Amino acid sequence: MNSKSFLFIVLFLLSLSIFSQTRKELEAQRKELQEQVNQIQKLLSQTRSVEKTELEELNELNLQINAQAKLIKAFNAEAKSLNREISSNQKEIKSLATELKTLKDDYADMIYKSYKSKSQNSRIMFLLSSTNFHQAYKRLQYMKQYTDFRKAQGVQISEKSDKLLILNDTLNIRKKEKDALAKESIIAQQEIEKRKNQQQEVVAKVKKKEKKYISQIKRKQREERKIDKKIDKIIRAAIAKNNKKVGKKSSGFAMTSEAKLLAEKFEGNKGKLPWPLEKGVVTRRFGTQAHPTIPGITVESAGVYILTEKSSNARAVFEGEVIEIQVTSGNKKMVLILHGNYITAYGNLETVLVKSGDKVSTKQKIGRVYTDKISKKTMLKFYIRKNIKPLNPASWIYKM
């Protein structure tokens, strides 16, 4: 393959970048969702043998169904992208094949006429029959141009043949990818149908005990509000202590230049902060939302709940200073870390590896997450606040 042909192929491959980039992004998203589905199933399988309430079972089914539904959407989006690429390739192949045939026909006709009308002797005679030197030079230039044109057509035929081969190979690869994707999508669809059937059975059981479960939900919400108030109290005390030390009055943290720099760095990493766990799945999101299983009931959450593996350690999402270690019900602990005027809180810890006043670094382990002895679930409660104001962790943590 000559250098021109190689350059042509490189440019052709670059011309597919719009398709490829979109498809690669969709493929990466689909693989990420597949990993989430696998992680959810793995985490929930650890509690599968434990007797649980219908409400807990329904929450788990909803979690799996939602994850599978997102995965199926990703399958469909990637399949559409592949269809567009396949269709584009087919049109390009058809167009190239037509061009190549025309080129080959023209080239064959030109070669035939050339050898029919001109032998080597006739070319010499063509030059010698010139009336003067200038005409001979012109005729020589014409013969050279004619030869160059033939060579150029030969190169053009070679380049288009190479491009056609690449397109055919790419088309076959994309068709195989599409077939594999379709098979995976069918499996995911079958899985979601299975979960939905289970969901309907459990919903019927939940409805029979709805009053009992509503009472449980309200009791848990009261307990969570108590924790929220404790966090507020701790932060207010930390603000008062800090501002007295700095010698300034403020409703929030009166920051030194060092603290301001840390807060700016924290803000600059919005959406890019690491997870507070190495592995985990969010089972409850931030804010006021309809209860996933009981209609008419809303739940409020000042943070997020993250299901993780047994013996997992919580880790700091950013550098900062431990301002408090709070003991909550059941002797569980909560660690609060200050980052300028931002606070991250890590609740439902069994043991802690830091103490008040410690400086911590990003991803430093701060304590082991508690595993419930009955449900066998290991759940971290994670909060972010700016002064007293609760913030949505999903806006701050990378891909939460």
pLDDT score of 365: 97
pLDDT score of 122: 59
Which residues, other chains included, contact 249 with Cβ-Cβ below 8 Å and sequence gap of 6+?
A: 243
171 belongs to a structural domain:
yes
Residue 361 and residue 308 in one domain = yes
Half-sphere exposure of 350 (CA within 13 A, CB side): 13
**Token pair for residue 31?**
């693989």
pLDDT 10s per residue in the chain (400 long)? 555 444 444 444 444 444 455 767 777 777 777 787 777 777 777 655 455 566 677 777 778 888 888 888 888 888 887 788 777 777 877 777 777 677 677 766 666 665 555 544 555 665 567 677 777 777 667 666 666 666 666 666 667 667 767 767 776 777 777 788 788 888 888 888 888 887 777 777 777 777 887 888 888 888 888 888 889 999 999 999 989 888 888 889 999 999 999 999 999 999 999 999 999 999 889 998 877 667 777 888 999 999 999 999 999 999 999 999 999 878 899 999 999 999 999 999 999 999 999 999 999 999 999 998 877 889 999 999 999 999 999 999 998 8
Domain count, the chain: 2
Last residue of a domain, one of 146, 176, 208: 208
Residue 326 and residue 178 in one domain = no
Q: The whole model's pTM is what?
A: 0.63
pLDDT score of 94: 77
312 belongs to a structural domain:
yes
User: Residue-wise over 357-367: b if at least 16 C-beta within 10 A, else e?
Assistant: ebebeeebebb
Bridge partners (DSSP) listed for residue 308: 378
Residue 243 and residue 386 in one domain = yes
Instruction: Look up the domain containing 133 and give its range.
Output: 3-208
400 belongs to a structural domain:
no
Nearest CA among 27, 69, 66 for reference residue 180: 27
DSSP string, 192-252: HHHHHHHHHHHHHHHHHTHHHHHHHHHHHHHHHHHHHHHHHHHHHHHHHHHHHHHT---SS
